[in-house]
Amino acid sequence: MDEAGVILAALMGISLAAASGFRVFLPPFLLSLAIRADFVEVDLVGTSFEFFETTPAIIILGVASIAEFAAFYVPWVDSLLDTIASPAAIIAGISMTAIVMEGSDPAVQWAIAIIAGGGASATIQGATVTTRGLSSTFTLGYANSLVATSENVASVALTIVALLAPLVAGIFAVVIIVIMTKRTISKRQSSDS
């Protein structure tokens, strides 16, 4: 993989990782479909990620995506899911970044996957947990469906843009991470006052 390919793959991976901070299973599901359809050109044959484009993996990710989308509309269940979704989002972010960077130097692949991919998904997931927690506290969970809808839209949009235009998605992901981080810090400062 040439330098430009590594940069685009890294941007795609980081964007997908950020999208998995909103919803854990949708970005891997859409990525597995894109790889299976040869829309995203990654050779996973003979790698530890070979299973990712198999029919059982696609079905499992699809069912998990639907279940996750629906579960976040149930007050208090959404907050419970965050305990599982937080570590799962980080693992998904690292994995997707590593998958799309397959074929690059392994040191570069895993450094970017762990630091940037894991960091992006952790940042977004942390902000969503904080937002949902505040929504649950101040609205008794009644506004959580609005929060869930905005997270669903953000995950779908960022995933699609990541697959179609990785450069644009990379910029968009950085902007989202900065905004969500600032918003989380200001909300925490407001609630501490």
Q: What pLDDT digit, counting tens, does each position of 41-66 carry? A: 888 888 889 999 999 999 999 999 99
Domain residue spans in the chain? Answer: 3-187
* Phi, psi (deg, nearest 5) at residue 25: -95, -25
Sign for the CA dihedral angle at 19, 175, 150, 166 comes to: negative
3-state class (DSSP) for residue 105: coil
Using the 8-state DSSP alphabet, how is residue 115 labeled? I
- Give pLDDT tens digits for 72-121: 887 767 767 878 888 999 999 999 999 999 999 999 999 999 999 999 99
CB atoms under 10 Å from CB of 8, counted, come to 18
* Single-letter amino acid, residue 13: G
Residue 191: pLDDT over 90: no
Rounded distance, CA 45 to CA 113, Å? 19
Confidence bin at 193 (pLDDT 50/70/90): low
Confidence bin at 29 (pLDDT 50/70/90): very high
Rounded distance, CA 60 to CA 25, Å? 9
Residue 165: pLDDT over 70: yes
Burial 140-176 (b: 16+ CB within 10 A, else e): ebebbeebbeebbebbbebbebbbebbeebbebbeeb
